Amino acid sequence: MPDLDSGHLFLTYLIPIKRGGPRNDVSFKQKVRIELARLPPAHQTPATQKTAYAAPFARNLRNHFARMFVLDNVVYNGRNRQNALVATVKKVNTITPEPVDGLRSAYLVFTADIDAIVKDGDPLPSELSADAQRRVRMAYAQTLWETMGEEIKAIFGNCHGFDGTDSGQAFGAYLERCHVETTMPYHDYYLNLPAFNDLPLKGLIVAVGVPAVIGVGALLLRLFGMSFLLGMNTLVLGLLGVALTCLAFVLAVRFAIANGAKPLPPAAHDDLPTVLKALYIQQRFTDFIAEHQGAAPATLHAAFGDFLAQHAPADITHPTQRPGVISDRAPQPRAGV
């Protein structure tokens, strides 16, 4: 399940936007765009720091990254290219237009990287069954509904099949119908690289190659008139070898795919609350160094004791940096919806 990697879910949802628009109004597509444009951004620049509210995704402690955008249609890349000689032989007439593929409606694309947990404070998991992943997604949808339900209704209200959704549970069920597998997760928190799921290529080559060599060898011997080898029928041996080769090949391919789909284990300290705490401690500890360099050992010892008491590095909940701000010194969003 490529959605799960390193203890995080990399989510992709494709939500169809209603076609057309309400009577005497702009299109549903434009209404989605308007609602997205109205979302407050994170407090990361002097201009955005003036907004009263931070990005709604900063109202929970699951999101590492979230993005919403409108996908109008798929890009048409022109005619399918092919070898000119082949096309000539096949008598392809390039004057005749090829069919152009398109989407039946625009889509709202919603992607998010989240901690794969059901409730705040859970440890990041290494493995999750398909059903457990579904529970994580449902819990995430519930969290979003509780923290940014208003925005969700405003945006998703223009989407196909959303009408009547009135609870976190129903929103989760709606999102489930729009869920597509993420095929390329991206993770950037590694302190130390994990043990990657390397493919045992040599072993697989041996597993497929040995029966292949025996099978083909035996058939060749049969061809040259040698019916028995060490008391075995070379024809039977050859066919057996070929059959084993095919079986080994199929198993090897399935193994390779399964190996590629295996998630990597969570890296140390990379759930969102820990990352935020790390950012906080990093800033405060740099200040501490700047203020105390050159201090006498006893002073330093006492000061560091105060530092530990004040900033509690072991407590990831408090004091810490809030999500959606560039540092805990920057202007913070006012409390609000």
Contact residues: other proteins, CB under 8 A: 46-47, 50, 286, 289-290, 293-294
Q: Smallest distance from the beta carbon of 50 to other proteins, in angstroms?
A: 8
Residue 9 or 325 with smaller CB distance to other proteins: 325
| Tokens of residue 194, six digits | 């994990």
Q: Smallest distance from the beta carbon of 226 to other proteins, in angstroms?
A: 55
Q: Smallest distance from the beta carbon of 292 to other proteins, in angstroms?
A: 10
Residue 227 or 286 with smaller CB distance to other proteins: 286
**Contacts by residues 148-157 (CB-CB < 8 Å, ≥ 24 positions apart):** 148/56, 148/57, 148/59, 150/337, 151/35, 151/39, 151/56, 154/35, 154/38, 155/32, 155/35, 155/36, 155/68, 155/108, 156/15, 156/108
Measure CA 25 to chain center: 36
Q: Smallest distance from the beta carbon of 264 to other proteins, in angstroms?
A: 21
Residue 286 or 317 with smaller CB distance to other proteins: 286
> How far, in Å, CA of 181 to CA of 173, rounded?
16
Q: Smallest distance from the beta carbon of 49 to other proteins, in angstroms?
A: 9
Q: Smallest distance from the beta carbon of 45 to other proteins, in angstroms?
A: 8
| Tokens of residue 221, six digits | 């011997």
The DSSP-derived string for 268-297 is TT-SHHHHHHHHHHHHHHHHHHHHHTT--H
Q: Smallest distance from the beta carbon of 286 to other proteins, in angstroms?
A: 8
> How far, in Å, CA of 213 to CA of 55, rounded?
62
Residue 27 or 49 with smaller CB distance to other proteins: 49
Helix (H, G, I), strand (E, B) or coil at 60: coil
Residue 259 or 282 with smaller CB distance to other proteins: 282
Express the helix, strand and coil content of the chain in percent, nearest 5 each: 45, 10, 45
Residue 94 or 293 with smaller CB distance to other proteins: 293
> How far, in Å, CA of 18 to CA of 16, rounded?
6
Residue 259 or 286 with smaller CB distance to other proteins: 286
Residues belonging to the chain: 337
